[in-house]
Amino acid sequence: MKIVALAGGVGGAKLAHGLAQILPPEDLTVIVNTGDDFEHLGLSISPDLDTVCYTLAGLANFETGWGRADESWNAIANVKKLGGPNWFNLGDRDLGIHLERTRRLKLGQSLSQITRDFCQAWGVGPTVLPMSDGAVRTIVSTDEGDLPFQEYFVHRRCEPKVRGFRFEGIETAEPAPGVVEALQAADAIILCPSNPWVSIDPILQVIQLQSTVPHPPPIVAVSPIIGGQTVKGPAAKMYAELGIEPSALAVARHYQNLLRGFVLDTVDAELQEKIPIPTLVTNTLMKDLTDRATLAQAVLHFIRNLS
């Protein structure tokens, strides 16, 4: 069964990793949000892409979910000592990917080509694709004005109140090479438990499913909100500030007519009856590697029964 997973950072990477433990590598393509990308300290940084690649390569930091395991922080400590910005924690190992990506981008290589080469170097089996090779930049409109995503998320720790989002460059961003082909060959599309507003929406806007795949295979979403809280990141806070009660139900409504099935956590079982499409109620909290594979297996089983 050929699966395309749409993913943001940590939650998306975990489910993608679970899927990678079950599916043959040629049957899994992960399309990753690049709206969080930014330029910092002269480097081109693609946090979600790196989180997915590190996770699939077994190199990720298990505690934070982002960055590298066994990390040290000498370079960024020196940047601070010299008076530079240290609010975005770039570890010594992690710096290697940003240096090499920036070098290659400056030579004119595309983000998708660079990602393919990095994945090959790390022995990552599934295909990992940026949603686009064109620059898309998520801007968070807040009560303190517009903020680039990482400025809002990391520097300001999501403190300003959210008013809305826009994705600069999205109108002209083409899907990266391989994205349309993967979608057209897919037996199912999984929206990973990533932030619907800032991780999945930009991907959906770039790939334009209605025109790319007029007769799409089953699309299933896994809720990133469990018991009204996000496992990681600001999705629940965003919903609340936009006047929507944060819940798995709100996530199901967010995706509206797109879905054929919806996966929510056992703690939210009572919401099941309010969701007018087939649902799977299961443990969606991925605390360890086994949880990732177990959830992936359950989602694949659910999809097979939908078809």
Dist CA 279 CA 202 (whole Å): 25
Does position 151 interact with ligand FO1 (CB under 6 A)? The reply is no
Whether the CB-CB separation of 178 and 129 falls below 8 Å is answered with yes
Dist CA 307 CA 297 (whole Å): 16
Does position 50 interact with ligand FO1 (CB under 6 A)? The reply is yes
Does position 37 interact with ligand FO1 (CB under 6 A)? The reply is no
- Judging by DSSP bridges, how do beta strands 127-130 and 261-265 pair with one another? unpaired
Does position 224 interact with ligand FO1 (CB under 6 A)? The reply is no
Q: Specify the residue, 5 or 298, whose C-beta has the smaller distance to ligand FO1.
A: 5
Min CB(59)–ligand FO1 separation in Å: 12
Whether the CB-CB separation of 249 and 273 falls below 8 Å is answered with no
**Count of chain residues binding ligand FO1 (CB under 6 A):** 17
Whether the CB-CB separation of 52 and 13 falls below 8 Å is answered with yes
Binding segment for ligand FO1 (CB under 6 A), chosen from 130-138, 148-156, 158-166, 251-259, is 148-156
Dist CA 67 CA 247 (whole Å): 28
- Find the binder of ligand FO1 among 36, 133, 241, 265 (CB under 6 A): 36
Binding segment for ligand FO1 (CB under 6 A), chosen from 48-56, 125-133, 140-148, 237-245, is 48-56
Cross-strand partners of 132: 175
Binding segment for ligand FO1 (CB under 6 A), chosen from 86-94, 99-107, 250-258, 260-268, is 86-94
Per-residue x/- marks for ligand FO1, 229-248, CB under 6 A? ----x---------------
What is the sign of the dihedral through the CA atoms of 258, 5, 195 and 21? positive
Give the residue at shortest CB distance from ligand FO1. Answer: 9
Please state, as a whole number, how many other Cβ atoms lie within 10 Å of the Cβ of residue 84.
10
> CA–CA distance from 56 to each of 60, 141, 171, 199, 306 (Å)?
8, 33, 30, 18, 27
Does position 201 interact with ligand FO1 (CB under 6 A)? The reply is no
Q: Specify the residue, 88 or 167, whose C-beta has the smaller distance to ligand FO1.
A: 88
Per-residue x/- marks for ligand FO1, 54-83, CB under 6 A? ------------xx----------------
Helix axis angle, 111-122 relative to 92-106, nearest 10°? 140
Residues that bind ligand FO1 (CB under 6 A): 8-9, 36, 47-48, 50-51, 66-67, 88-90, 94, 150, 153-154, 233
